Amino acid sequence: MQQVVYIANPVSGLIHVFRLDEGELVSLQEVQTGGEVQPLVISPDRRWLYAGVRPDFKVLSYPIGVDGRLGTPASAPLAGSASHTCTDATGRLFFAASYAFNHLSVSPMDEDGRVLAPHQRIDDLMTAHSVTLLADGQESPSLLVASLKDDAIRRFALGEDGRLTPHPRGDLHTAPGAGPRHLALHPSNGDLYCLNELDGTLNRYHREEDGRIHERESLDMLPPGYEGERWGADLHLTPNGRFLYTSERASSLLTLFGVDEQDGSLTLLDHFATEACPRGFAIDHSGHYLIATGQESHNVAVHRIASETGQLSLSSRHPVGKGAMWVRVLMLDGRPA
């Protein structure tokens, strides 16, 4: 399996491109974006890397070469600074949540896959921190926007015209002061997870076939007796759905949860030290490696995942640009010709 890792470093303005080789990162390229590059997302056909850049609010569409290196980008304006982005399942729409500007924007793409200027903006989403697509056949496509200071996950229906409307099922709400930040979807059991930044908790929801979403449980991410600051950051599941990991910046810890194969319930299994202030991380497509950035260490750590237990062990560390934040992993094998 050939895989390429992209890391965004906003302070230095760099995207680092690495080949993942048996737990080591082999440098392929350093790309200067000319701004504070933050959210990265790969197109569904794996031919484009989209990078949100500030303070000149824009998205750069980088063509991805056969070896994963990035070509000359196209640029399109955004309505404000992007904190998190995603695309629809077909690669015709690009969504950007803006924490600083309290909105979500929708941008069309041209027929080749380049992002164009937004055609819709939805305001009054307080500190919109992330945007997540729901499109797995259970219902019509919809979007979830984690609005941190609203303590709400705002829900929108995606129409055939590429525009969003409030979802008839309404929004989801977290505990007061939780601060919903990032979301993740289980690959098969219909569960949805929400990492809460401010109280350091993880919520599990279950999606019914009729579109209803119910909260099942909420767990603390931090060790028993922890009394420090709480500053939750990111979450991801292994491809087989057996393990879920979260990152917390104040303690610089990764937390491992087991996912029950029968009812989906979560069990906190362990905590692991990683890079200082792990703002973002990703899990590779084989499920063998967890790649975590250190926003304060300017390094990236590659942790090996034990297949039976989910336990982490350090495989390697590599220097990257300043303020490392975003990690995306591309599988080159099987891309359309």
Question: Which of 207, 185, 187 minimizes the C-alpha distance to 195?
Answer: 185
Looking at residue 221, its amino acid is M
Q: In the chain, which residues have pLDDT < 70?
A: 136-139, 336-337
- Does this model's pTM top 0.85? My answer is yes
Please give the backbone phi and psi of residue 148, each rounded to the nearest 5 degrees, phi first: -60, -50
Per-residue model confidence (pLDDT) at position 333: 83
Residue with tokens 């709480």: 230
Q: Contact, 206 vs 213, CB < 8 A?
A: yes
For residue 310, give the DSSP letter. -
| 221: Cα separation from own chain's centroid | 18
Question: What is the C-alpha to C-alpha distance for residues 98 and 167, in angstroms, rounded to an integer?
Answer: 20
pLDDT for position 38: 96
pLDDT at 337: 59
Cis amide prior to 108 (ω within 30 degrees): no
Chain segment 192-238, per-residue pLDDT in tens: 999 999 999 999 999 988 889 999 999 999 999 999 999 999 999 99
Residue-wise pLDDT for 19-46, tens only, equals: 999 999 999 999 999 999 999 999 999 9
Q: % helix / strand / coil in the chain, to the nearest 5?
A: 0, 55, 45
> Residue 200, by phi and psi: left (phi above 0), alpha (psi -120 to 50) or beta?
left
The pLDDT value given to residue 147: 98
| Residue entry with tokens 């975003």 | 326
The pLDDT value given to residue 94:
98
CA 251 to chain centre: 20
Q: Are 51 and 39 in contact (CB under 8 A)?
A: yes
First to last CA, the chain: 17
CA dihedral 244, 27, 16, 321 (to 10 degrees): 100
Query: 254 to each of 132, 187, 223, 233, 239, how far by Cα in Å?
Result: 22, 21, 11, 10, 18
Rg, C-alpha atoms of the chain: 19
Residue 335 pLDDT: 75
pLDDT of amino acid 136: 64
Distance from C-alpha of 324 to C-alpha of 294, rounded to nearest angstrom: 6
H/E element holding 297?
A: none
Task: Tell me the longest C-alpha to C-alpha distance in the chain.
Answer: 54
Which helix H or strand E contains 226, and what residues bound it? none
- Contact between residue 169 and residue 207 where contact means Cβ atoms under 8 Å apart: no
Report pLDDT for 27: 98
CA angle, 238 then 242 then 248, to 5°: 60
Do residues 278 and 292 lie in contact, with contact meaning Cβ atoms separated by under 8 Å? yes
Q: Hey, what amino acid is at 14?
A: L
Helix and strand counts by DSSP (H, E) for the chain = 0, 29
3-state secondary structure of 150: helix
Using DSSP, state whether 70 is helix, strand or coil: strand
Q: Would you state the pLDDT for residue 138?
A: 54
pLDDT of residue 97: 98
